[in-house]
Structure 1
Amino acid sequence: MSFRRIVLIAACIAMAACSKINQENYSKLQTGMAKAEVESLLGKPTECSGALGFASCTWGDDKVFISVQYAGDKVLMFSGQGLK
């Protein structure tokens, strides 16, 4: 195996390990948290939508994700899938 290939594999593993979409951060979420606190913990969401004072934001993709629903600026409920 070439040195370049080893470095590339190590970089990919390191990037995957640095993901904020994990069980540890999911465990820190709490009902009533401010949206700014959630974004400080998880980073910028992948996608958000909402209307009439309610919003739903998702971090991750269709296999590994954290989804947070807001009422106003506060966490109403949250869920996750595929977290490690």
Structure 2
Amino acid sequence: MWQEGSIGIPVDKATGKSYITIHYALKVYDEPSEFGINHGKISKLELRQDGEIVANYDRGWDICPTTKEAELALYILLNRHN
């Protein structure tokens, strides 16, 4: 099943922002798979930050998370869906 949404990642107030938004699209299955992230249920994932792709997984990493916010969003999604 495909899912889309956004995650707000808190940031240091010195930046002038209270959070950074990470938009995600993912394909998640009912059961874990050898093709899923860490052999889990997410087989496809795209993360965008400020309109740029900051992570992409399609049965393997095309783009590993490139920002700390993308890494945090990935951990949140893995926790939620695995």
Alignment TM class, shorter chain as reference = 0.3 to 0.5
Q: Which of the two has greater helix per residue?
A: 1
Q: Scaled by the length of structure 1, what TM-score is found?
A: 0.32
Structure whose CA Rg is larger:
1
Q: Which of the two has greater strand per residue?
A: 2
